[in-house]
Amino acid sequence: MRNCGLMAYREALELQLEFCEKRHEGLRGNTVLIVEHPDVITLGARKSENKLLVDCESLGKRGIDVVEVRRGGGCTAHNPGQLVVYPIVKLKSLGLGVNEYIRGLEAIGIELLRGYGVSSDRRKGYPGLWVGEEKIASIGVQVKKGVTIHGMAINICNDLSIFDNIVPCGIDGVRITSLREQTGGDVSMDEVKRKIAGIIIKCFSSEEVGGYE
| Tens of pLDDT, residues 89-104 | 999 999 999 999 999 9
Tell me the pLDDT band of 75, cut-offs 50, 70 and 90.
confident
pLDDT digits (tens, 9 = 90+) for 147-159: 999 999 999 999 9
Domain 2-204 CATH superfamily: Bira Bifunctional Protein; Domain 2 (3.30.930.10)
* Integer Cα distance of 58 and 63 in angstroms: 9
What is the pLDDT at residue 213?
56
Q: Which of 20, 56, 169, 203 does the annotation list as catalytic?
A: 169
Angle between helices 98-114 and 189-204 (to 10 degrees): 140
Determine contact, residues 110/120, Cβ cutoff 8 Å: yes
Q: How far is CA 117 from CA 131, 156, 206, in A?
A: 12, 13, 28
Say whether 169 is catalytic. yes
Cα Dmax for the chain? 48
In sign, the C-alpha dihedral spanning 179, 180, 185, 186 is positive
**Position 45 pLDDT exceeds 80:** no
CA 37 – CA 78 distance, rounded (Å): 6
Helix and strand numbers, DSSP H then E, in the chain: 6, 11
Domain boundaries in the chain?
2-204
Asked if pLDDT for residue 172 goes beyond 70, the answer is yes
189-198 long-range contacts, Cβ below 8 Å, gap at least 24? 189/36, 189/81, 189/83, 189/156, 189/157, 192/83, 192/112, 192/156, 193/3, 193/34, 193/83, 195/112, 195/115, 196/34, 196/83, 196/85, 196/108, 196/112, 197/1, 197/3, 197/32, 197/34
16 pLDDT tier (thresholds 50, 70, 90):
very high
